[in-house]
Structure 1
Amino acid sequence: MSTSLVAVDIGGTHARFALAEIADDGAISLAEPITLKTSDFASLQTAWEEFERRCGCSVPRRAAIAIAGPVNGETVRMTNNSWVLHTGALDEQLGLDAVCVLNDFAAVAHAVARAPEDQLIHITGPQGPLPTLGTTSVVGPGTGLGVAHFHRFPGGYRVQATEGGHLDFAPLDAVDDAILARLRQQHRRVSTERVNSGPGIVEIYCALSALEKRPIDTPVEDRAIWERGLAREDSLATAAVERFCMSLGSVAGDYALAHGANAVVLAGGIGLRLREWLPRSGFGERFRFKGRYQQMMAGIPVKLIIHPQPGLFGAVAAFALDHSGEPQT
C-alpha cells in the first residue's frame, strides 16, 4: 500500500506545503504546492492550520519537514523569520503520527539522489548519468549558498548536510581581489556565500564598476542586476553575471575536492536562472582550474537539477528512507 503524507519546505520568507504520496514501489508524487509567507503567521502550527483550511479536507498524519537552518538539536530558531521550532514536539503540536525533520539543503541532496535522469541536465565534464557509487557534492546558490553531499553505496545512499557556504572566499585573480577588498570593508571575515549567492551579484557589480571607474546609482538591488544582466540590457550587469558563473565554478570545484566527490550537482533558484549560461561560461574552466588536479577535475561530471520543487521532493525521499521498515497505509 502507498503512504500519504504532507511535505513542508520552510525558508526564511516562504513555507511551502504539498500533499505527497510514496507508492509501494517507492515512487514519489507531489500535489501542487501551497505557498505561504512566513511573516503572515506566528508559528508553523498556525501556518499548518491555514494549509489544512486551504486543502478543504483532512490531511495525512505524517509529515516530512525541511527547515532552512541547522537541524542538530531539539530547538531550531529560524535565521530569517521569528519561528522557533521544537523538533522533538512537532508530532504533538501538529497532531502527527510520524514526522521526519531535516535541513532544507539536505532535502535537496535527497532530491538529487532520487531524481530521474531527465531532471538532471549536463553543465560540464563527462556526459552520462550520475555515478552509481561514490560521493556527489550538491551546491545551491540562492538567497544563501547551500552545500551538502551524499554517498552512494550498494543498496542505498546517505546524505550529509553541511554549512559549507560559510567557508572563506578564495580569490584567484585581480577581479576577485577587488571583490574581496570591497567586502573586507564591510565584514571582518568574508565567506564564500557573500559572493556566491543571489545577493552576491551586487558585490561583483560594484567591484567591476569601481575597476572601470563607472559611476553607479545607489542603492543597487540584486534583483535588478540579475534581470538586466540575464537580459543583456546592461553590459556591466552582464559582465557581473558572467563573473558570477566563473566564481561559482571555482567554489563548486573546491567542494568536489573537499568531499572527494566523483560528481557535482548544482541546485537552487540562481542555478536554474543560469541554466543556459553555465555551459557556455567560464564555469567549467574555473571548476577544473585546480593546479596539479586539473586532469582529475576534468573527469568529474557537473549537472543541474531542474526539478521544480526539490526541497519538497527531497523531504519526502528522506521520510521514505527513515520509515522504510514501517507498515504503509
Structure 2
Amino acid sequence: MDVVAVDLGGTNARFAIARIAEGRVIEVGDMTTLATAHYATFQSAWEDFAARHGGHLPSAAAIAVACPVKGREIKLTNCPWVLSVDALRRDLDRLTLVNDFGAVGHAVRHLDTGHLQHVMGPDRPLPEQGLISIIGPGTGLGVAHLLRRNGHAYVIETEGGHSDFAPLDAIEDHMLGRLRERYLRVSVERLVSGPGLLGIYETLAEIDGAPRLFQDDKSLWAAALDGSDRLAVAALDRFCLIFGSVAGDIALTQGASAVVIAGGVGLRLADRLAHSGFARRFSAKGRFEAMMMELPVKLITHPHVGLIGAAAAFAEEHGL
C-alpha cells in the first residue's frame, strides 16, 4: 500500500509517497522539502504537498517528528508547529506517529551496508545481537537505540540530546560559562547541532581576541567546510571533538555494541569525521577505553533515512 511519509525537523519538513509490501519499504518516491519557517502550521505544509500531487494523497500517513510523541497535541522541540493527534486521526484512515530518531532506528533495520559508511572501530557489519546507539546532530541532537535480541528488533526513543554538557578542557570550561549566561542549563544539543557551531566559534573568537566575522550558523558552516576561514575551521575541529565525547558517553551509558551516526550534520561531516578528533574523544573513557575502541561506528549516507524509517514504523505498527 501507499502512505504519505513525513519527516518533520526543526528546519525542514520532508514529504514523499512510500510504498510498503510484506513488511518492508520497497520504494520512496521523490522527496519534497519544505522550510518550516515558510508555513504557519503543519496543515498548510501538508496542503502544499497535496497540491503538488494534484490534490490527491493516500489516506494513510507515517509521520516522524523531532520531539517526544506523547499526548493529544505534539509540539515540535525546535519549531513552533503543534500537531493535533485527534485531527490527524479524523482526517486519515491509518496513522503512525514516531519520534524522528525512533524512525531512524526503524530505518537502520532496513538499510544495507552500502548506506553505512565506516567511521572508526572495527570495520565489520552492525551486530545481529545487542544494542546499537543511534546519534544524530541536525537542528537539534537526536538519540535513540535499536536492540536486537533473539531474532527480534526493538526501537527505543530517547531525549538523550538534552543531557548536560560536560567540558573536558579549559576551552570547553570557557564555552560552558558563556553558554550558561544565555541558557542557564547547557545541554549537549546546544553544542552538538547545526546551530551549536556558532556558540563554539564565538567562544574561540573571544579567547583569541579575534573579530566575529560570522553571525549565523549557515554562513559559518560554509566557511568551515570549504576552509576559507581559519577560526571557522578551528570551530569545526572543536565541534568534532565534542561530538566524539558526547557520542562515546551515549554509547557507554546505553551499553552499545555499535554506534550509528545520522542527521543532516552527520552527512555534512561524512568526509571529515574519520580524520578528525572524533575517534580520540569517543574512546577516551578511562578504564573503558579499550572496550570503546572495539565498537564499530557507522555513518548513514542514505539521503531519505527519516522517510524510510517513518514508513517502516508504519509497516510494523499496522502489521503490513
Contact 1:28 1:313 in 2 (8 A): no
Q: In the alignment, which residue of structure 2 is the partner of 1:226?
A: 221
User: What amino acid is aligned across from residue 164 of structure 1 in structure 2?
Assistant: G
* Partner SS, residue 182 of structure 2: coil
What is the CA–CA distance in structure 1 between the aligned matches of 2:53 and 2:109, rounded to whole Å?
30
Equivalent residue of 1:168, what SS?
Answer: coil
Name the counterpart of 1:33.
Answer: 31
Distance 1:39 1:198 in 2: 16
Query: 2:234 aligned to 233, 239, 242, which one?
Result: 239
Question: Is the contact made by 2:106 and 2:313 (CA closer than 8 Å) also made in structure 1?
Answer: yes
- Corresponding residue SS for 1:58: coil
| TM-fit CA distance, 1:27 | 4.1
2:212 is equivalent to residue 210 of structure 1: no
Q: Distance in 2 between matches of 1:221 and 1:200?
A: 10
- Write out per-residue CA displacement over residues 118-168 of structure 1, whole angstroms, 9 at most, x where no aligned residue: 000000001011011111111111111111111112233111111111111
Query: In structure 2, which of residues 141, 145, 148 is the aligned counterpart of residue 149 of structure 1?
Result: 145
1:185: how far off? 2.1
In structure 2, how many angstroms separate the alpha carbons of the residues matched to 1:158 and 1:22? 20
Deviations 1:231-288 (A, max 9, x none): 1111111111111111100000000011111111111111111111110111001000
Which residue does the alignment assign to 1:24?
22
1:190-217 Cα deviation digits (max 9, x unpaired) = 1111111111111211222222222334
Counterpart in the other structure of 2:193: 197
Q: Is the 8 A contact 1:28 1:316 kept in 2?
A: no
2:250 to 246, 251, 255: 255
1:270 aligns with 2:273: no
- Tell me the residue number matched to 1:310: 305
Q: Report the secondary structure of 2:63's partner residue.
A: strand
**How many residue pairs get matched?**
320
Note if 1:165 corresponds to 2:161. Answer: yes
Question: Aligned equivalents of 1:40 and 1:310: distance in 2?
Answer: 23
Letter in 2 for 1:139: I
Structure 1 stretches lacking a partner, 5+ long = none
Distance in 2, Cα, partners of 1:294 & 1:23: 43
- Following TM superposition, by how much is the alpha carbon of 1:57 offset from its aligned partner in structure 2, in angstroms? 6.1
Matched, 1:181 2:192: no
The answer to whether residue 96 in structure 2 is matched with residue 100 in structure 1 is yes
Change in 2 beyond 3 A, CA 1:45/1:182: closer
The answer for the alignment partner of 1:121 in structure 2 is: 117
Determine what percentage of the aligned residue pairs are the same residue. Answer: 51
Q: Which residue of 2 aligns with 1:54?
A: 52
CA shift for structure 1 position 25? 6.5
Deviation at 1:82, TM superposition (A): 4.0
The TM-score, its normalising length taken from structure 2, stands at 0.94
Check whether the contact 2:7–2:307 (CA below 8 A) recurs between aligned residues.
yes
Q: Please list every run of at least 4 consecutive aligned residues from structure 1 whose deviation after the TM superposition is greater than 6 angstroms.
A: none
Matched letter for residue 267 of structure 1? A
C-alpha deviation, 1:39, in angstroms: 4.3
Task: Give 3-state SS (helix, strand or coil) of 2:212's partner.
Answer: coil
Q: How big is the alpha-carbon RMSD for the aligned residues of Structure 1 and Structure 2? A: 1.7
Secondary structure, aligned partner of 2:43: helix
Q: Which amino acid aligns with 1:299?
A: E
Amino acid at match of 1:141: P
Q: Distance in 1 between matches of 2:312 and 2:25?
A: 9
- Give the C-alpha shift of residue 88 in structure 1: 3.9
